[in-house]
A and B are shown apart, each in its own frame.
Chain A
Amino acid sequence: MLIRRKKINLIFIVLTVYVNQFVYADGVNINSTITYIDNNIYYLDTSSELTLTDESYRALRQGISFEIHTDFQLLKKRKWLWDKIVFRKKLIYKLEHKPLTENFLVTNLNTEIVNYYKNLDAAINAICNISKMKLFDKNKLKKNIKYIARVRLYLDIDSLPSPLRPRAYFSSDWNISSQWYRWEI
């Protein structure tokens, strides 16, 4: 699916979209991504799906808060060496359940903006659909060099309470992560 955003001050749009290439992992898939330039700044839009496992849903309901990361990386392609990370940005959302009102709280830890959702789907939808995430200056990219962008959505196990972590590291119930979604930029 190709998503087009129309902006008045848009000079040109660079689209690199792999619409039909869904990246499935355990409960997480990235449906589409798009990077575009606005005023010489690269921005990112992503559309993902995330389904909690029964165990993680139970934990959320029991008061465990989750940190869900959207990790973007820009890699410089190298012929004989590993690709080098030239830019990296993370968008972190904190998801909590409030039993008194039976609502779900989503906090953007980058901006400290808090949103309140009546059900889990709406909360997850807010986390998974990111629009206009500011990335880097266009001048950062050099000519004649290939760059690869990749993005990943995952539940950060390190943010879980310590007693839960040892089990979470080895349990598939807690392996909530997409694979890297890659495209050339």
Chain B
Amino acid sequence: MKIKKGGKIITLIGLCLFIFMLSSLLMMSKTLQNSELFDRFYLGLLLFNALGLVSLSILIILNLKRLIRQLKNRVIGSRMTVRIVILFSLLSVTPVLVVYYFSLDFLHRGIDSWFDLRVEKALDDSLELSRLALDVRMRELLNTTKKIAEELGETNDLELPFYINQIRDRINANELTLLTRKGVILVSSSKDTKSLVPNTPEETILLQLIQNNSYIGIDLIKNKGLMIRSVVNLPTTGLNKKEEVLQALFPISERMNKLAANVQTSFIEYQELSYLREQLKFSFIIILTLVLLFSVFSAVWAAFYSARTLSAPIKDLAQGTRDIAKGNYNTKLPIPSNDELGFLVASFNDMTDKISQARDNAKNSQEEAESQQIYLETILSRLSSGVIVLNKDGEIEKSNISAAQILQVDADALNNKNIINAFPKLTNFFECISNNISEKNDDWREQITLSEKTGNQILMINGSILTGPNNSVSKHIIVFDEITALVQGQRDAVWSEIARRLAHEIKNPLTPIQLAAERLRNKYLLSLDPNNVEMLDRMTNTIIQQVETMKVMVNDFSDYARSSDSKKEEIEIVHLLQEGVDLFGNMDHGSKIEIDIKTSLPKIQGDEKKLRQVLNNLLTNAVDANEMGDDNSLKISAKVLDIEDNEIIEIRIMDSGAGIDPLVENNLLEPYITTKEKGTGLGLAIVKKIIDEHSGTFWLENNTKQNGACAVIRLPIYS
């Protein structure tokens, strides 16, 4: 804004300067026609115009400097400005230079034509004629003066004052004076009675007379005008022996005086003009040159101004285009005029308006889409169900966090094309999806089970197709949930109910049976014959033992079915392990027990009684398993592990038995699944239930380095 204001001021100054200089040049032209004005104003105007030219040239230099700077900085429109300036300058300067050349030529010829040789010769001749006319007269008067001098030389000094008047009258002189050679007046006679002091010759004339040369000339005498002065020496012979001179002043006729003065004045004026001819030419050339420079500088300056004016809208357009390229669609250009350029700028403004509107619409749509996406992603991330979006080729495009969590893989791993190779456990999952996609099932639902060390994982998978244009398949949406806990819960509930009913239905008649058997034994053991006594004793014992066994079994059922009421407290797991090891070490003398338990294990929170039951069950199983193996060894270890930044205690109980039977491998932790002849199939199920209640994990696995199986418990550390 400041630059534009400064530019306007400079333009205004330039315009004022132009007007002043034009006026000044017009005044100079006027002064050339009037000598009085010329004398008064010529030099002042000349100086003013010179200063104006300097100012104009400074303006041009400033413009040129700015243009060069713009060229260096590759400012838009600078090259166009250069072209316009050069073109305008050439177009305006060329004709001015031609006019200047011919004007100079005409000037020289014109001024020279004022001075005609014939006129000059005529003036010279007239002056010479005047001189000659006067010379004849002067020569006569000189002779007359010489004669008078000879006459006066014979005259007595005393008679001179009386005689000199007569002589002056006789020769018709205006003044007759006798002087010494040093200029001292001796005697004088004048026709003019008012003139008291006679005119004396100059020293140079007296010197001339000393050299015995007479003097005759036309002199301007004070108060008398032009007169012929004749000065001669008096003869030194005769009576007058003194060195004296005689001066006679003769009048020139008024007519001759006037004519001679006219001739002299004309001659002087002509000579003066002739001398000033070159100076006049010089003055005219200066004025012409000033006009030329004024025209050229004004044209160049106007060229700069015009170029700037013309290129400004184009510069604005280019800048506006750049702004749009940079994304600034609010650019509005000032409309320079109502011509085609103005129409172009107006069209540009319309275009930017429309682009801006389109940009705003697109931005709004994008923002809406982004908000929708964020909304959708938020929902997806909050969903407990796993969601996977597949493209029409079956490749994963998108998945939510729950999907990775359910499948127990990293979120990034889901985008891996070789995910099946990386995670073989997911083979069932992807095969199920792949099969349904290849069968082009529009809306399908399937339950699958993934095998895990820690147990089976049951997933419910729902799939549907997203259709694109022309009802073509564009994407597949896969939504899946882990229903392991649900199924397990349902299963546990069923089993608990069965166990509870079984315990209730069986436990109630067991006591009467046992009591009846004992009463029967007590009543008839002593009254029967010895043969029958033995049979009665054996049979009642069997009933009582079996009832006792059934009671134990029923108690187990009862324990399994009992709700998870537990009393949580801080427990030193090391002590529990040590107790278990001591108990079974005393019971089973045949087993080699290898212990690897860190004494500094941290505490856990749990129900000590239940955890003791867990260890007892597992150690019992291990001892039982060892009985079926060759190597009767038992290895117990406990250590702290750091899994996914969570510290846990891992307890491993390794036996050297036959290992896990593949037939029951997947269902081993379910109730009533056992490979033991006398087992109820509830031991491991109870262990699993108790560990689950302690937020831990439990699983069985076969040993890798030796025979046998390993029971693994992982429990969180109490913090």
Contact = CB atoms under 8 A, between A and B. Distances in A.
Physical interaction between A and B: yes
Interface of A: 58-59, 61-64, 98-101, 103, 105, 114, 116-119, 122, 161-167
A130 to B, nearest CB: 18
Interface in B195-221: 202-205, 217-221
A133 to B, nearest CB: 21
Given A63-B269, A117-B202, A98 B282 contact: no
B267 interface: yes
Contacts of B221: 116
17 contacts: A61-B271, A62-B274, A98-B220, A98-B264, A98-B268, A100-B130, A117-B202, A122-B204, A161-B272, A162-B39, A162-B283, A163-B282, A165-B43, A166-B279, A166-B286, A167-B279, A167-B282
Contact of A119 (B43, B204, B269): B204
Contacts of B202: 117-118, 122
Given A100-B131, A166-B283, A166-B286, A105 B272 contact: no
B263 interface: yes
Q: Which of B42, B219, B276, B286 has the most chain A CB atoms inside 10 A of its CB?
A: B276
Interface of B: 35, 38-39, 42-43, 46, 127, 130-131, 202-205, 217-222, 226, 260, 263-264, 267-272, 274-276, 279-280, 282-283, 286
Given A64-B276, A165-B42, 7 more contacts: A63-B271, A100-B260, A101-B226, A114-B222, A119-B204, A162-B39, A166-B286
A61 B267 CA distance: 11
Q: DSSP majority for the B interface?
A: helix
A173 to B, nearest CB: 12
A63 B272 contact: yes
A116 B43 contact: no
Contacts of B130: 100
B204 A59 contact: no
B659 to A, nearest CB: 124
Contacts of B42: 162, 165
Closest 8 CB pairs of A and B: A62-B275, A63-B272, A163-B279, A63-B268, A100-B264, A63-B271, A101-B218, A116-B220
Nearest to A102: B217
Contacts of B35: 162
B280 to A, nearest CB: 5
A58 B220 CA distance: 23
Given A162-B38, A163-B279, A100 B272 contact: no
A114 B225 CA distance: 11
Given A99-B127, A118-B202, A122-B202, A62 B272 contact: yes
Given A118-B217, A122-B204, A166-B286, A99 B279 contact: no
Given A63-B272, A163-B280, A99 B204 contact: no
Contacts of B39: 162
B46 A64 contact: no
A62 B276 CA distance: 9
Contacts of B271: 61-63, 99
Contacts of A99: 127, 264, 267-268, 271
